[in-house]
Amino acid sequence: MLTKILTFLLDTIFGFFVFLLLARFYLQMLRASFRNPLAQFIAALTNWLVIPARRFIPGLFGIDLASLLLAWFIESLLLFLLYSIGGAAGARGLSLIGLFLTLGLLELARYSLYLLIGVIIIQAIISWINPHAPMAPLFNTLSAPFLRPFRKLIPPIGNVDLSPLFVLVAAQLLLIPLEYLVRSVALIF
């Protein structure tokens, strides 16, 4: 019972920061405005990690590598802690480190797809309820690069944009092989 409680707490706390760091990375990569409450909240909660890390991890072509690498490190550390608590971590040296780094990278891809799904759903709801809401520009900025290819292929039907539906289906289709890949990598080691 204590193991489950500790696993839940670690997964919740570490997962929360991984999602925040990934959101910060995508906000900066997609050039979203940080002049809205959500972006300011994300920046305020992650500044204590990102600002010191930027001294050692410079950006690359305007991409915030510090946020991305911190998310990867925290996810890999979480996986190590969860495997250690579960008693699965043995003394296999470099292969074990490679396992956690590889699984951490795959989990970041999975979290990124979940973030995309959340952004698309929120953007669609905002566009239906109040397209002039203060948060609408932020979610439009984050979702536009993913919706644009589908909007070119599929015109609105009866003034209803179906492109969010196709992005959600595509994200779900990408999650399926990603889950199998995570399982197969975990079984290899």
pTM, to two decimals: 0.88
Q: CA-CA distance, 159 to 140, in Å (whole number)?
A: 18
- CA torsion, ordered 173, 103, 185, 178, to nearest 10 deg: 0
pLDDT in tens, 50-92: 999 999 988 888 788 999 999 999 999 998 888 888 765 444 5
pLDDT in tens, 9-57: 999 999 999 999 999 999 999 999 889 999 999 999 999 999 999 999 8
Give how many domains the chain has, as a whole number. Answer: 1
Burial code (b: 16+ CB inside 10 Å, e: under 16) for 138-152 equals bbbbbbeebbeebbe
Mean pLDDT of the chain: 89
Q: What is the pLDDT of residue 91?
A: 45
- Residue 119: domain span: 2-188
pLDDT in tens, 141-158: 999 999 999 999 988 888
Q: What is the pLDDT of residue 160?
A: 84
